[in-house]
């Protein structure tokens, strides 16, 4: 759909590399891949996005192809029937569901190790963040110092994130 030279697109993230600073989206309606630049994603409040995440965005056709100009909505990748994270197996699902979003800052995250830590504002405890929680939340990576919103429970590894959201979700 074209509205004043702006396309409203719904699709899936083909891939996104935060180191390179860009990735591509495949529109549900087909057509060429849509360039998603890191700055456009940052304006939405995220520094990364998981492959397969659903996305709604505004895009423009340029001489260099179709480019995203604004991210409107992101949904994490669909759960493909993967088993629950082992860290949460013995925890009552009601406890996980009752966790509230808290503003936090990423201490460090190592994608190759598959985990990292964040600190909730006003609290000294580190919060463990597993890469699978990150992926299921729609992120591919986190950067040190990045502001996020997290849901936290007490688990096997101490305080653990059950969900990670963009900073704007905490406001």
Domain co-membership, 92 together with 150: yes
From 54, 75, 96, the end of a domain falls on 75
pLDDT of residue 16: 92
CATH number at residue 38: 2.40.50.140
For 47-103, how does the pLDDT look when each residue is reduced to its tens digit (9 = 90+)?
889 888 999 999 999 888 999 999 999 988 876 555 557 777 778 888 888 888 999
Does any domain span residue 81? no
Q: At 169, list the tokens.
A: 């979700």
Q: Look at the chain and report how many structural domains it folds into.
A: 2
Contact present, 132 and 111 (Cβ < 8 Å) = no
User: What's the start-to-end Cα distance of the chain, in Å?
Assistant: 32
CA distance 166 to 73: 11
pLDDT more than 90, % of the chain: 53
Residue 18 has pLDDT above 80, yes or no: yes
Give 30's pLDDT tier (boundaries 50, 70, 90). very high
């Amino acid at each position: 759909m074209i509205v004043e030279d702006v396309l409203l697109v719904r699709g899936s993230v083909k891939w996104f590399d935060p180191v390179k600073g860009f990735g591509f989206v495949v529109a549900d309606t087909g057509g060429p891949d849509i360039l998603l630049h890191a700055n456009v994603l940052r304006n939405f409040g995220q520094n990364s996005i998981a492959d397969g995440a659903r996305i709604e965005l505004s895009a423009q056709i340029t001489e260099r192809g179709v480019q995203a100009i604004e991210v409107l909505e992101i949904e994490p990748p669909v759960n493909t029937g993967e088993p629950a994270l082992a860290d949460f197996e013995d925890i009552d699902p009601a406890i996980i569901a009752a966790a509230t979003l808290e503003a936090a800052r990423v201490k460090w995250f190592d994608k190759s190790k598959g985990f990292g830590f964040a600190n909730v504002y006003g609290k000294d405890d580190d919060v463990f963040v597993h890469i699978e929680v990150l992926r299921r939340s729609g992120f591919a990576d986190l950067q040190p110092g990045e502001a996020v919103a997290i849901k936290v429970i007490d688990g096997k590894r101490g305080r653990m994130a059950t969900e990670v959201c963009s900073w704007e979700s905490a406001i």
